[in-house]
Structure 1
Amino acid sequence: MSDYQALMHEAAYIGGQWIQAGPDEKNPVRDPANGELLGHVPALDAEQMDSAIDAASAAFDEWRHTAPLTRADRLYAWYEGMQNNREALARLMTLEQGKPINEARGEVDYASSFFRWFAEEARRFRGKTIPAEDPTMAVGTVEEPVGVAAIITPWNFPLAMITRKVGAALAAGCTTLVNPATETAFCALALADLAEKAGLTNGEFNVVPGSGKQFGERVCADDRVRALSFTGSTEVGRKLIEQSAATVKKNAMELGGNAPFIVCEDADLETAVDGAIAAKFQTTGQDCVAANRIYVHRSMYEDFVDRFVEKMNAMPVGHGLNEDTKIGPLIHADAVEKAQSLVDDARERGARIIGREQSEAPGENFFMPTVVADFTSAMRVAAEEQFAPVAPITPFDTDDEALAAANDTIYGLASYVFSPSDARIRKYLRGLEYGMVGINTMDITGPHVPFGGVKQSGLGREGGHVGMAEYLETKYYCMGNLPKV
């Protein structure tokens, strides 16, 4: 099926019902490539958000006691629904997010894989038996769903950021409230359409579009919401942690990144350049694990810059529905303005700015891929998450120097190292202060991996065998007066 309009709903999905909003309670959604209006999504008010909490809370008691096999079946049916609507979901994503269509297809596969993974994991989580010191006692643990889980997701991965969280929460027996980014709410509502078809019709999965600030305030203040999962900026994450402290919620936070990409002196030049291009420009640079700072050993620095620029300049820029497009639009004009300000700051501080002229951009929300060569730690591009096709590159002389520069940030999400040397790889693997390290590859994500960061890049992990831990509580028991065997 490729008719994306069949999956578009200008309504919220609460308690298994499609909820309309008045004409003054809707937000427009536009194609970032050309500004074309795609439709309107509801902007729910506080009272409507509270009704969504009511629905999720009412559904929790039944869902928590639903057999794991049944929960698994629902998730697997949802996975199949996404696969059967792969092209429609990809086109919808490209239209409202701007992502090149081939990347959008890849995200549908990536996003749906979490439902398959957690459908399988739903039957595997279990408690433990603890050897008792007294033979007349039995000691152990059971795992219980924490309760209603509130989930706030960004616009850059509008399907995968939902499925990675919701798949784990539902498998654990929690019910969910999803507040998607307004820019890409149609993708979230398309998931609701497929959830309904998969049998999730009683409030297990709710899509609550509207102000993220207001949603955060409502769920953080409500005792019935026991878990909060957020992907977004560190600044907003801090505020949510503060707000949720009053009700002592479980927090899972995937926050900002400032990923270093280190090319050692013994790395293969072509392999490293290809890896850096992929790590920098996927999702047009709007990716929390994108290479944010590229450090190249001085012995190959100029050759690396030349090859990187050559390949960068060959990347087609245009509307994401064009099959050849590699660089799409940024999400809105503010993102373009920030990208330009980062480049201007670097230029003023002595960096070489290399790339095509911005006058070649095919629309106002496009930013032509740009290299900031010879960047220094004093430049904004070294400290701020660019979220744009801007690639800062600078040389280094020693591994210790590269490690120190890479770790000189409050963030610690993803990092990358290219070298064939086992000893060098071990040095970087242990020395990098990051939750994830890609070695000779930038392909580090998937449903089977524990995704997450350290320092101010977040709390907890998503995916892998630990993904459900954010939605489970360990209950200890001690049973006495057992007969001696």
Structure 2
Amino acid sequence: MAAPTLTLKPGTAWADAWRRCLAVAPEAFQDDTVRNLWGGGWQADGRSLPATTPVDGTPIAGPPRLDADTARRAVRAALDQHRDWRHVALPERKARVGAALDALIEHRELLALLLVWEIGKPWRLARADVDRAIDGVRWYVAEIDRMLDGRSPLDGPVSNIASWNYPMSVLVHAMLVQALAGNAVIAKTPTDGGVGCLTLAAALAAREGLPITLVSGSGGELSESLVRAPEIGCVSFVGGRDTGARVATAVADLGKRHILEQEGLNAWGVWNYTDWEALGAQIRKTFDYGKQRCTAYPRFVVQRSAFDAFLATYLPAVRSVRVGHPLAVADPDDALPELDFGPLINAAKAKELSDQVTEAIDRGAVPLHRGRLTDGHVLPGQDLSAYVAPVTLLNPPSTSPLHHAEPFGPVDTIVLVDTEAELLAAMNASNGALVATLSCDDPAAYERLAPQIRAFKVGRGKPRSRGDRDELFGGFGASWRGAFVGGDLLVRAVTRGPKGERPPGNFPDYHLVP
């Protein structure tokens, strides 16, 4: 029987989402553009660039990019906001953040729909991103009195530069907690996507009187203001190692407080292991959002003698992964599809990753699995230029980026090893990672090997996550610089405590956080 022809779910088109944005926040959305938020108001400045959604190539709103001079004015205005806001009493700050959360809940579905169109998240994951932001900040509102005992805001606003993949649960979450702690907040919209979702969230928060600045622009042009400006009290960065290294150099030279989360090749090791059913249940989940996550697992390091059993578990799991258009349905009354992932962030990234796969195979990697987009959940004639089906390669050559760097896409690499020393070397290939997992039957062996894995969090047979509340988060090696976060530490990172206090983190030995 032929598969049913798919169509876009009624009411979910980009035009529908945009009309709703114009109705909900006309101060921030105008005609076919968005505005920048600075100086306490929405500004019709910046140069909007054309943009398309990775989902199917539909034109969408692009970021209104500021020039360097305007960015400097925005930072100075944020300092004025900060000087006023830091004296607002904590009960009032809690009330305003709580009101902003209520507004986010009211428009939860629209925020999620914007995430689908702008960064290609499947509906389930888009809603989860919004909900994690709301639930996480609610927890901080309930706990903040205890966390701020004996502490005060910084001397200047917190500047946030974050990647595009989690606009709500990482960036908006951090901004609201920073404001709750008494700081004005500056955020740069990611160049690759999320400007509409962030603009709507910022509009809802600004209506409640929260001191938020939201601007767009190129990193090179805005970094002098958002990283180096003397007005900035702290820099919070989430992104790649190349840009992160430049930011790290700047903040270290200037003695600025900083939180710099960077990529790493998170690895899953399999050593003297037999519970294949448990592992199989986890493998498909690792493909959520096409592995475009800082805690994704794109590398499996497998004991050679167990490779046949591993492969018998792995291949059925990867073949079950569902890819396609997040808003396509067979019948208008159908629920939105339960997909593992949709497109990558853009066609350029899809081509780059596909080229890396081709090059790795040409240099000796063995293709164990290559999915087909024609088998995916797609519309007739849909633009698939931003899509990559799951790929699995055995033993990528050491000359390939896939050997040592995070692909940030649905490409798994498998490395076979014979000794514990080889296992550890392969799992530590990227000089530090955020998370790792070791599947190992013997608890004693796990306890011996896990501390030698250069990841901040190591799980036994289960994936680790970023975490925000009861568990701190950071990284080893080149995967992190500056203060660790999570729970109390997120608040400590953006407030002042006793004189000479040094927040836990990866600070250079010579650098004392003021």
Could you state the TM-score of these two structures normalised by the residue count of structure 2?
0.83
Alignment partner, residue 507 of structure 2: none
Cα distance change, pair 81–420 in 1 and its aligned pair in 2 (3 A): farther
Q: Is the 8 A contact 2:156 2:234 kept in 1?
A: yes
Q: Is the 8 A contact 2:373 2:388 kept in 1?
A: no
Cα distance change, pair 122–359 in 1 and its aligned pair in 2 (3 A): closer
Equivalence map 1:371-390=2 (5 Å) = 371-375=392-396, 377-390=398-411
Cα distance change, pair 357–269 in 1 and its aligned pair in 2 (3 A): closer
Alignment partner, residue 92 of structure 2: 70
Alignment partner, residue 43 of structure 1: 65
Equivalence map 1:91-102=2 (5 Å) = 91-102=113-124
Cα distance change, pair 35–66 in 1 and its aligned pair in 2 (3 A): same
Alignment partner, residue 509 of structure 2: none
Q: Is the 8 A contact 1:75 1:198 kept in 2?
A: yes
Cα distance change, pair 168–421 in 1 and its aligned pair in 2 (3 A): farther
Secondary structure at the residue paired with 2:342?
A: coil
Q: Deviations over 1:88-112 (max 9, x none)?
A: 1111101000111111111111222
Deviates more, 1:162-171 or 1:208-217: 162-171
Alignment partner, residue 284 of structure 2: 277
The whole-number CA distance in structure 1 between the counterparts of 2:485 and 2:219 is: 21
2:455 to 398, 423, 434: 434
The whole-number CA distance in structure 2 between the counterparts of 1:420 and 1:195 is: 49
Alignment partner, residue 39 of structure 2: 15
Q: Please state how far the C-alpha of 1:420 moved relative to its aligned partner.
A: 4.3
The whole-number CA distance in structure 2 between the counterparts of 1:125 and 1:440 is: 33
Structure 2: runs of 5 or more not aligned: 1-10, 23-28, 329-336, 379-383, 501-514
Cα distance change, pair 277–116 in 1 and its aligned pair in 2 (3 A): same
Q: Does 1:470 align with 2:484?
A: no
Q: Please state how far the C-alpha of 1:455 moved relative to its aligned partner.
A: 0.8
1:171 to 180, 195, 205: 180
| Number of positions where the alignment pairs a residue of Structure 1 with one of Structure 2 | 458
Secondary structure at the residue paired with 2:497?
A: strand
Alignment partner, residue 138 of structure 1: none
Q: Please state how far the C-alpha of 1:357 moved relative to its aligned partner.
A: 5.4
Q: Deviations over 1:4-45 (max 9, x none)?
A: 4333631112233111136xx112332102111122331112
Q: Is the 8 A contact 2:319 2:371 kept in 1?
A: no
Q: Does 1:106 align with 2:128?
A: yes
Q: Is the 8 A contact 1:156 1:283 kept in 2?
A: no
Q: Deviations over 1:114-142 (max 9, x none)?
A: 321322342122467xxxxxxxxxxxxx5
Query: Amino acid of the residue matched to residue 415 of structure 1?
Result: A
Cα distance change, pair 263–357 in 1 and its aligned pair in 2 (3 A): closer
Alignment partner, residue 332 of structure 2: none
2:102 to 68, 77, 80: 80
Cα distance change, pair 309–146 in 1 and its aligned pair in 2 (3 A): farther
Q: Please state how far the C-alpha of 1:335 moved relative to its aligned partner.
A: 1.0
Secondary structure at the residue paired with 1:394?
A: strand
Q: Is the 8 A contact 2:130 2:169 kept in 1?
A: yes
Q: Does 1:158 align with 2:193?
A: no
Equivalence map 1:312-391=2 (5 Å) = 312-322=318-328, 323-356=337-370, 360=374, 363-375=384-396, 377-391=398-412
Cα distance change, pair 300–7 in 1 and its aligned pair in 2 (3 A): farther
Alignment partner, residue 145 of structure 1: 154
Cα distance change, pair 214–391 in 1 and its aligned pair in 2 (3 A): same
Q: Please state how far the C-alpha of 1:250 moved relative to its aligned partner.
A: 1.0
Query: Amino acid of the residue matched to residue 41 of structure 2?
Result: Q
Query: Amino acid of the residue matched to residue 459 of structure 2?
Result: G
Q: Is the 8 A contact 1:29 1:96 kept in 2?
A: no
Alignment partner, residue 296 of structure 1: 302
Alignment partner, residue 194 of structure 1: 204
Query: Amino acid of the residue matched to residue 308 of structure 1?
Result: Y
Q: Please state how far the C-alpha of 1:443 moved relative to its aligned partner.
A: 4.8
Q: Is the 8 A contact 1:370 1:389 kept in 2?
A: yes
Alignment partner, residue 256 of structure 1: 263
2:254 to 222, 247, 258: 247
The whole-number CA distance in structure 2 between the counterparts of 1:434 and 1:261 is: 11
Alignment partner, residue 220 of structure 1: 227
The whole-number CA distance in structure 2 between the counterparts of 1:26 and 1:53 is: 20
Alignment partner, residue 3 of structure 2: none
Q: Please state how far the C-alpha of 1:239 moved relative to its aligned partner.
A: 1.0
Query: Amino acid of the residue matched to residue 42 of structure 2?
Result: W
Deviates more, 1:399-408 or 1:145-154: 399-408
Secondary structure at the residue paired with 1:435?
A: strand
The whole-number CA distance in structure 2 between the counterparts of 1:173 and 1:428 is: 42
Q: CA RMSD in A?
A: 2.4
The whole-number CA distance in structure 2 between the counterparts of 1:175 and 1:367 is: 40
Q: Does 1:398 align with 2:399?
A: no
Q: Does 1:452 align with 2:487?
A: no
Q: Does 1:286 align with 2:309?
A: no
Structure 1: runs of 5 or more not aligned: 129-141, 478-485
Percent identical pairs in the alignment equals 26
Secondary structure at the residue paired with 1:355?
A: strand
Q: Is the 8 A contact 1:143 1:473 kept in 2?
A: yes
Query: Amino acid of the residue matched to residue 468 of structure 1?
Result: V
The whole-number CA distance in structure 2 between the counterparts of 1:429 and 1:69 is: 44
Q: Please state how far the C-alpha of 1:394 moved relative to its aligned partner.
A: 2.5
The whole-number CA distance in structure 2 between the counterparts of 1:339 and 1:474 is: 45
Query: Amino acid of the residue matched to residue 492 of structure 2?
Result: A
Query: Amino acid of the residue matched to residue 346 of structure 1?
Result: A
The whole-number CA distance in structure 2 between the counterparts of 1:380 and 1:121 is: 43
The whole-number CA distance in structure 1 between the counterparts of 2:97 and 2:274 is: 42
The whole-number CA distance in structure 2 between the counterparts of 1:321 and 1:265 is: 43
Q: Please state how far the C-alpha of 1:316 moved relative to its aligned partner.
A: 2.2
